[in-house]
Amino acid sequence: MVSAVAPKSAPALHREAYQLAVDARDARFDGVFYVGITTTRVYCRPCCPSRMAYHQHRRFFDSAAAAERAGFRPCLRCRPELAPGRGATALAAVPRLAQLATQRIAAGALNGHSVADLAAQLGVSERHLRRSLVREVRVSPLDLARTHRLLLAKRLLVDTDLPVTRVAYASGFQSLRRFNAVFRDQYRMQPSALRRNRPARPSAPDGSLRLTLSYRRPLAWEALINSLPQEGTVAIEGHSGILSVDNSPADEHVVVHIGESLLPVLMPLIAGLRRVFDLDAEPAVIDAHLSAGGLESLVARWPGVRLPGKLETLEGAQPDAFNANRRSLQRAAGAQSARELLAMSERWRPWRAYAAQLLRLSVDSLPFIPTSPRRFSVRLTAASDLDVLVQPVKCGSCRSS
């Protein structure tokens, strides 16, 4: 049983700062926390354009799942399901086990599988996994998975014309009846109610879906896609298809066109793309830290630099990974040796990988930003037996970091 004396939560510690962020509708905090309005029982993003509630009517949550666990419904105007995820700044204080579990649950690890299955994949007991998530994320694994399914379903209901049955299965529910029951119980409305009075959406000629993935501006898009291969082969549970990604900087999101054949693996695909494109990064924090560490000229040239992930595994890069032995990085930093560069890099922790990316860009001198958005395409096939969800993790890596 979890101790009744819970540690003081991050929202409680930062309540005054969160109040100011909501008053200013500060987009830098989008996805970092959510605010619940006690008079309406609705929770919003910090940048919600709706009329502000009084301070005494606000409750703060560090995740959408925690807000829904407390009985709040997502705002229909600011749409919390579109917010970027929590960046490495917020996750740094969370032990490794909780990080891995939340990432895999977001990718659909509990869709059709039990908590015991996930615990076995992570190399821990089911009881230990439950306690870790309740202690660190303040929701149970099942509550977290339910919130991810409901928010994805809400997005598909609003942004696509998919039949409700296909929405249910694409969101990770195992039956239409269960989907309708959970949706009504949590949101106190029928799923079809979200489509009333909605403007008609033109259908894509190839039947593909158009979804958006939000990020926190700025985003050095050209530098990012030039660091990624133009085509990659990935296997997700044997499904294949084609998707393309365009940047829409004015809207602070990338637009993803996904073939209908990829609907059964939509949840792991979206989670993987967010990692590959590093869309959950907090550039305001990272850029300020690296500028203070002596890289202000490079930050000014490439504001919002991101770390490209690996398409083959749909995994993201480690934010503090740094190889001081690379001669190109030594030259870019003006260091005479790996030891000197390593000592220099201490001022860039915990964002040394971003510093390395900036140094690499200064050497490569990536080209101009074109007037039209650059399209990035990747083909997903079943060419290998790679499974991005069930990679075992040794017990030693699950300890708190």
User: pLDDT per residue over 116-169, tens digit each?
Assistant: 999 999 999 999 999 999 988 889 999 999 999 999 999 999 999 999 999 999
State the Cα–Cα distance between residues 296 and 124, nearest whole angstrom.
43
Tell me what the mean pLDDT of segment 313-333 comes to: 93
Question: Residue 95: which of 141, 61, 129 has the closest Cα?
Answer: 129
Question: Residue 371: which of 232, 247, 231, 226 has the closest Cα?
Answer: 247
| Claim to verify: residue 187 and residue 312 sit in the same structural domain | no
| Claim to verify: residue 98 and residue 22 sit in the same structural domain | no
Q: What is the pLDDT of residue 239?
A: 81
Q: Model confidence over 43-76: pLDDT tens digits?
A: 999 999 999 999 999 999 989 999 999 999 999 9
Structure tokens at 198: 């909605």
Q: Which amino acid is at 5?
A: V
Structural domain count of the chain: 3
Rg of the chain over CA atoms, in angstroms? 21
- Report the share of the chain in percent with pLDDT over 70: 83
| Sheet bearing 241-248, strands edge to edge | 209-214, 253-258, 241-248, 376-380, 233-234
Q: Model confidence over 241-260: pLDDT tens digits?
A: 888 888 999 999 999 998 88
Q: Model confidence over 161-214: pLDDT tens digits?
A: 999 999 999 999 999 999 999 999 999 999 999 998 777 676 666 778 999 999
| Claim to verify: residue 145 and residue 258 sit in the same structural domain | no
> What are the backbone dihedrals phi and psi of residue 50, each rounded to the nearest 5 degrees, phi first?
-65, 165
Whether the model pTM is above 0.75: yes
Let me know if residue 142 belongs to a domain.
Answer: yes
- Contacts of residue 138, Cβ cutoff 8 Å, sequence gap at least 6: 6, 9, 62, 63, 66, 69
More confident of the two residues 149 and 86: 149
State the Cα–Cα distance between residues 51 and 53, nearest whole angstrom.
7
Q: What is the pLDDT of residue 376?
A: 53
Does pLDDT of 24 surpass 90?
yes
Give how far Cα 295 sits from Cα of 100, 300, 367, 392, Å.
31, 9, 20, 38
Please state the separation of Cα 173 from the chain's center in Å. 21
Answer yes or no: are the C-beta atoms of 260 and 208 closer than 8 Å: yes
| Claim to verify: residue 184 and residue 221 sit in the same structural domain | no
| Claim to verify: residue 65 and residue 14 sit in the same structural domain | yes
| Claim to verify: residue 159 and residue 43 sit in the same structural domain | no
- State which residues form the domain around 56: 10-75
Please count the other Cβ atoms lying within 10 Å of the Cβ belonging to residue 266: 22
Structure tokens at 244: 């393309």
| Claim to verify: residue 178 and residue 237 sit in the same structural domain | no
Question: Residue 79: which of 251, 284, 208, 272 has the closest Cα?
Answer: 251
Mean pLDDT check: name the lowest of 96-105, 212-221, 235-244, 333-342.
235-244
